[in-house]
A = this chain, B = another copy of it.
Amino acid sequence: MRTSLKDVAARAGVSVRTVSNVVNGSASVSERTRERVQRALDELGYRPNLAARSLRAGRTGLVGLVIPELHSPYFGELAGLVVEAAQRRSWTVIIDQTHGRADEERRLLEGTHAPIVDGLIISPWALGAEELAERAGATPMVLLGERDPGRLADHVAVDNVLAADEATRHLLDAGRRRIAAVGPQPGLRNGTAEQRLAGYRRALRRAGVTPDPALEVPVPTLHRAAGARAMARLLDGGGPVPDAVFAFSDELALGVLLVARERGIGVPEDLAVVGFDDIEDGRYANPSLTTVSPDKAQIAERALQCLADRVYSPGAAVPPQRITVPHRLVARESTGHARSPEGTGSADRVGGARSGGV
Contact = CB atoms under 8 A, between A and B. Distances in A.
Given A49-B115, A94-B94, A343-B258, A70 B60 contact: no
Interface stretch (A20-28, A207-215, A221-229): A221-229
Interface string A43-68: 00101111110110000101000000
Contacts of A343: 224-225, 228, 255, 258
Nearest to A86: B96
Contacts of A69: 80
A286 interface: yes
A344 B71 contact: no
A254 interface: yes
A7 interface: no
A113 interface: yes
Contacts of A80: 69-71, 97
Interface in A193-240: 224-225, 228-229, 232
A76 interface: yes
Contacts of A73: 71, 73, 76, 281
A92 interface: yes
A198 B292 CA distance: 43
A138 B115 CA distance: 27
A130 B94 CA distance: 29
A94 B96 contact: no
Chain A, interface residues (CB within 8 Å), range: 35 or more
A71 B60 contact: no
Given A80-B97, A95-B95, A280-B224, A47 B286 contact: no
Which of A2, A114, A281 is the most central at the interface, judged by chain B CB atoms within 10 Å of its CB?
A281
A163 interface: no
Contact of A342 (B71, B225, B280): B225
A116 B228 CA distance: 45
A156 interface: no
A171 interface: no
B83 A284 contact: no
A261 interface: yes
Interface string A74-98: 0011011001100100001111110
A311 B199 CA distance: 53
A60 B52 CA distance: 11
30 contacts: A2-B138, A47-B114, A47-B115, A51-B51, A51-B55, A55-B55, A62-B94, A70-B80, A70-B83, A71-B73, A71-B76, A71-B77, A71-B80, A73-B73, A76-B76, A79-B95, A80-B97, A92-B112, A93-B95, A94-B94, A95-B95, A225-B342, A225-B343, A232-B342, A254-B284, A255-B343, A258-B284, A281-B281, A285-B286, A286-B286
Q: Top 10 A-B pairs ranked by shortest CB distance?
A: A76-B76, A70-B80, A51-B54, A71-B77, A47-B115, A51-B55, A71-B80, A50-B116, A286-B286, A281-B281
